[in-house]
Amino acid sequence: MKYLTLLYFLLNFNAHAFLNIESLRQSNGEKEGLRGSIGLRLLDQSGNVDKSLIGLNTLNLLKAKKHQFIFLAKYRYGESFGDEDTREGHLHLRYTYDVLKSLKWELFQQSEFNKFQDLNSRFLLGTGVRMRLLNQDHHKINFGIGAFFESEEIENSMDQENPRLNNYLSYLYQAENFEFSSTLYYQPNTERFSDYRFRAAIGIETKIVKTLTQSLEYSYNRDTAPPVGIQRDDRILTAGLNYKY
């Protein structure tokens, strides 16, 4: 495991990228068929700090004429000094229909859990529209607006059910062997707008060979009404290798 960890950091020290829905759906133009990637993140440290972490993820997109299907799954597990301190999972399904060249209709479902944020489960179902603001060879910008209904089961607290707006703005820069992407999400509770979630994700990806990339993602998440004892702000920096097909 230690040799795998050393290889992991050598391959990801200088330039990275991240596995992102917006990056995949905007890349490769409007080509039909299946494309996607599988990613692995590993950490094994001992001595002054005893820490291990494993992360797996897959992101797949199938396009057929005016129809687009996206499947994303992520899982992370970690321990520090023999005690479990990370266990979370995420599943996302999305269907998109091309109404016009620059306008799409979306339907999505998401399920997730995070043991160390006291989230036993979160299930949401939503819809919305996606508009293309800029589509150049190297620069692409898209804006989405919609809504979803979510149901949460929270540890040692009352379960919650909320309708929320779902707004996002995404930017993608692509070069031959390099890619930069950024996405902003704003999700207010329509029954109480002071309760909102904000997420900013930034990532870069560099190509090692045609089907292998190295990646880095930084994300900042803010929840203004988290469960009792859970902080409002959460920052995550991840790096890894991705196999693309």
Tokens describing residue 215: 């990646």
pLDDT tens-digit readout, 199-221:
998 988 898 888 888 888 888 99
Name 102's Cβ contacts closer than 8 Å, sequence gap at least 6: 131, 132, 135
End-to-end CA distance of the chain: 26
Three-state SS for 109?
strand
- The pLDDT profile of the chain, 245 residues, written as one tens digit per residue, is 443 433 333 333 332 333 357 667 766 556 788 888 888 777 676 666 677 888 888 889 999 989 999 998 989 898 888 888 889 998 999 999 999 989 999 999 999 999 888 889 999 999 999 999 998 888 999 999 999 999 999 888 777 899 999 999 999 998 888 889 899 999 999 999 999 999 998 988 898 888 888 888 888 999 998 888 888 998 888 777 788 88
pLDDT tens-digit readout, 64-81:
989 999 998 989 898 888
Q: What is the pLDDT of residue 189?
A: 96
Q: Which amino acid is at 107?
A: L
Return d(Cα 82, Cα 100) in angstroms, integer: 54
